[in-house]
Amino acid sequence: MTWDWGAVADFMPKFWDGLLLTLQILALGSLISFALGLVWALLMRTPSRLVRWPVGAVTEFIRNTPLLVQLFFLFYVLPEWGVTASALTTGVFAIGLHYSTYTMQVYRAGIEAVPAGQWEAATALNLPVTRTWRVVILPQAIRRVVPALGNYVIAMLKDTPILMTITVMEMLGEARLFAQQNFQFTEPLTVIGVAFILIAYPASLLVRALERRLVR
Amino acid sequence: MTSGLWELVLNGIWITVQLLVLSALVATAVAFGVGMARTHRLWIVRFLAGVYTEVFRGTSALIMIFWVFFVLPVAFGWQLVPLWAGTLALGLTYGAYGAEIVRGALNAVDPAQREGGIALSFTPWQRMRLILLPQAVPEMIPSFTNLLVELLKGTALVSVMGMGDLAFSANLVRLALQESAEIYTYVLVIYFVIAFLLTRGMRGLERRLKAGVGKQIGRTPDQELHRPETTGVGAAGSLGGAS
Amino acid sequence: MSADTPLMKDPDASANPPVDGTELIRFEQVTKRFGANTVLDHLDFSVNSGKHVTLIGPSGSGKTTILRLLMTLLKPDEGTITVAGEKLFPAPEKQIREVRKKIGMVFQQFNLFPNMSVLRNITEAPVTVLGLSKDEAEARARELLDMVGLADKCDARPTQLSGGQQQRVAIARALAMRPQVLLLDEVTSALDPELVAGVLDVLRDIARTTDITMLCVTHEMNFARDISDQVLMFDSGRVIESGSPEKMFNDPENDRTREFLSAVL
């Protein structure tokens, strides 16, 4: 086994480019998944079965099928339907949509964990429904869900390399390109593997600390 | 779609199923081995098992696949056939998530049970086998069900390496027909059906196992919020209140 | 009065003249079932304005259900509920909201909003529901907090308070809506014994100094005797006896009442 520090040094500029793009994808994807997930969760609380059933079915479908194939679907099918978007935009949307079907479950659990007495008190004070959600239920639910959402952000980080398959040059994309150009696979792949661990492990410690502080 | 193309898809399903079964077996073995090691009385065993889980959960499944396909042959001279390379990468990665499930469920068993075992002078292994595992395993099933669906989704990643699985067959059909909507819809539906069957099967298994220890099936919102991460990845996590 | 006689409109009118004597709350033939279990069975029952009425009876006899029906936390299966001449049930949602404004409730578990300060707990509904300005609402809240002896806790979080303090905040929160009817559901039973007195003092004050109609469910018989001018004995979803506290506690007529009171007194 040989290890070439020179190759590592050559790869590093590309690595930083890839890291930056990975973090951008992660930030935007997280925002989309937080917002969409909340929309799904609230729609699942509407009294109308005509709303709940389709939302439940579609999100269940997205959650139980591979992100990779969904990504291909969006990347190849949307242009056929006349919708054009860059690979990066498509990728960010796909990952945000996919994870929104997970965050919706987190929100749902958070909402269900708010004691029934809170709803009753809001009714007793005659607070309107929207106001009850906004100032009573959601603030309490959000507090409980922050650590669980954090977990999904970390999960999403580790799914960002999938965007490589539609030509997005995030970390793995850069590593593969470098490897193919220089016929050196070990160094770039190991560097990004270590980079993922160096980001994900402290992040997971942070989430665990948050969980102890916020949830209990 | 012609029958030749359908044959391609059927072949893809077969490869996906093989890969799923094999990597699930490897992942289960890793999950129980490493998960039990994390409750071992020697700190060094716990530490090494902890390093394993953090490393494999820390990195991405797709990067692991690249590593096994490209770095292992060069660095160690191990050239695996693609099916085994895929099995190894997926089994080791998802096994690390499974280990967290096993550890969480073992820790969630009432400490009084362990003390009872000590009082009856069982050895640590007897306690594990006779007292802890029979109570913990039924509790693991819902999390393992989620993990199994994640593993199924993870098998699609090997298509990046040119392995002819279901996701790869979709790409071939797209190239052949120059048309994407139909084939990708079919393939997504096929994945969904497999996931549905897996979930159903696991629920039946859970019901059988829980009947054995006199428990009801179901999840509380609180468990949902603290459930171990199983998405292609994921971080911290503990089952129930054991963090 | 036997178990089968329907409740008289105002059995103790002569003994204890009401503040203005008009009928405020009226249940007609109200039935409430939970699954196969009928908790209220064609109940007729009314309360005149200004009255302080206590519901007593064994647990499961439907006392709390009455409060929860009035607060619209539950919907009856049959019958009508009227408050101050307006239908609360059956009625369109908009009317329910209007009528409900006349009613306030204090819960066994306080149900304060943990994400808001004590002051905000009290001002939130007056501002958003009644449309008071923030200043007005705060002035009203401070006055009420002063009345319940917690003027210094404005900025505290509910979780920083003792159970008794939380319950006094909850009472202030309900009063801030200026309800005509105050429902008190076992308001002391979640409290440690030494904290009960403070809460009861506050309620006694309210009973003496305001003309709010009060409907209590309680196991505190001394409190019931002290503040109420009418006591209703419930059993199996019906009123089996009612009267002034003196009569009910000293000389009950019904055997079930006697049995129940000897067990709890």
Structural domains of chain A ordered from first start: 22-169 (1.10.3720.10)
A68 in contact with chain B, both atoms CB, cutoff 8 A? yes
Instruction: Give yes or no for residue C16 having a pLDDT over 80.
Output: no
**Which of C72, C115, C125 is nearest residue A127 as measured by Cβ atoms?**
C125
- Is the CB of residue B62 less than 8 Å from the CB of residue B157? yes
Task: Provide mean pLDDT across the span C39-55.
Answer: 90
Q: How far apart are CA C225 and CA C218, in angstroms?
A: 11
What pLDDT, on a 0 to 100 scale, did the predictor assign at position B225? Answer: 63
B236 in contact with chain A, both atoms CB, cutoff 8 A? yes
**Which of C71, C97, C116 is nearest residue A124 as measured by Cβ atoms?**
C71
**Which of A115, A124, A127 is nearest residue C105 as measured by Cβ atoms?**
A124
Instruction: Give yes or no for residue C212 having a pLDDT over 50.
Output: yes
- Is the CB of residue C214 less than 8 Å from the CB of residue C67? no
pLDDT level of residue B151 (50, 70, 90 thresholds)? very high
A165 in contact with chain C, both atoms CB, cutoff 8 A? no
Other CB atoms within 10 Å distance of the CB of residue A216? 7
Express each pLDDT in C120-176 by its tens digit.
Answer: 999 989 998 889 999 999 999 999 999 999 999 999 989 899 999 999 999 999 999
Express each pLDDT in B58-109 by its tens digit.
Answer: 888 999 999 998 888 877 777 788 889 999 999 999 999 999 999 999 999 8
Q: Is residue B233 part of a domain?
A: no
Chain C residues whose CB is inside 8 A of the A117 CB are 107, 109-111
Q: How far apart are CA C243 and CA B70, in angstroms?
A: 89
Task: Provide mean pLDDT across the span C33-46.
Answer: 89
In the numeric block, the tokens 């935007």 are attached to A28
Residue B164: give its domain's CATH number.
Answer: 1.10.3720.10
Chain A residue with CA closest to C183: the answer is: A124
End-to-end Cα spacing for chain C: 22
Q: Is residue B15 part of a domain?
A: yes
Other CB atoms within 10 Å distance of the CB of residue A82? 6
Higher-scoring residue by pLDDT: B221, C197: C197
Cβ pairs bridging A and B (under 8 Å): 184
Instruction: Give yes or no for residue C2 having a pLDDT over 90.
Output: no
Q: What amino acid occupies position A32?
A: I
What pLDDT, on a 0 to 100 scale, did the predictor assign at position C19? Answer: 47
Chain A residues whose CB is inside 8 A of the C173 CB are 125
Q: How far apart are CA C121 and CA C171, in angstroms?
A: 11
A66 to B243: CB separation less than 8 angstroms, yes or no: no
Residues 6+ apart with CB under 8 A from A24: none
Instruction: Give yes or no for residue C249 having a pLDDT over 60.
Output: yes
What pLDDT, on a 0 to 100 scale, did the predictor assign at position C20? Answer: 59
Q: Is residue B36 part of a domain?
A: yes
What pLDDT, on a 0 to 100 scale, did the predictor assign at position B237? Answer: 32
* Positions of chain A with pLDDT lower than 70, given as ranges: 1, 215-216
Q: How many domains does chain B have?
A: 1
Q: What is the DSSP letter of C109?
A: T
Q: Is residue B230 part of a domain?
A: no
| Distances from the Cα of B188 to the Cα of A53, A68, A70, A90, C45, angstroms | 20, 10, 8, 18, 61
Residues of the domain holding B68: 3-225
Angle between helices B181-213 and B133-155 (to 10 degrees): 180
Q: Is residue B12 part of a domain?
A: yes
What pLDDT, on a 0 to 100 scale, did the predictor assign at position C13? Answer: 36
The H helix count followed by the E strand count for chain C is 9, 10
What pLDDT, on a 0 to 100 scale, did the predictor assign at position C9? Answer: 38
- Is the CB of residue A172 less than 8 Å from the CB of residue A192? yes
Question: H helices within chain A, ranges in order?
Answer: 5-43, 49-63, 67-72, 78-80, 87-112, 116-124, 129-131, 138-159, 171-182, 186-210
Q: Is residue B236 part of a domain?
A: no
Q: What is the DSSP string of chain B?
A: --HHHHHHHHHHHHHHHHHHHHHHHHHHHHHHHHHHHTT-SSHHHHHHHHHHHHHHHHS-HHHHHHIIIIIHHHHH-----HHHHHHHHHHHHHHHHHHHHHHHHHHHS-HHHHHHHHHTT--HHHIIIIIIHHHHHHHHHHHHHHHHHHHHHHHGGGGGGT--SHHHHHHHHHHHHT--HHHHHHHHHHHHHHHHHHHHHHHHHHHHHHHHHT------HHHHHTPPP-SSS-----STT--
Q: Is residue B86 part of a domain?
A: yes
Chain A residues whose CB is inside 8 A of the B56 CB are none
What pLDDT, on a 0 to 100 scale, did the predictor assign at position C89? Answer: 87
pLDDT level of residue B234 (50, 70, 90 thresholds)? very low
- Domains recognised in chain C with CATH numbers: 49-61+102-264 (3.40.50.300)
B67 to A190: CB separation less than 8 angstroms, yes or no: yes
Distance from CA of A116 to the nearest CA of C (A): 9
Q: Is residue B151 part of a domain?
A: yes
A139 in contact with chain C, both atoms CB, cutoff 8 A? yes
Q: How confident is the prediction for chain B on average, in pLDDT?
A: 84
Interface test with C, best of A119, A126, A136 (most C CBs within 10 A): A126
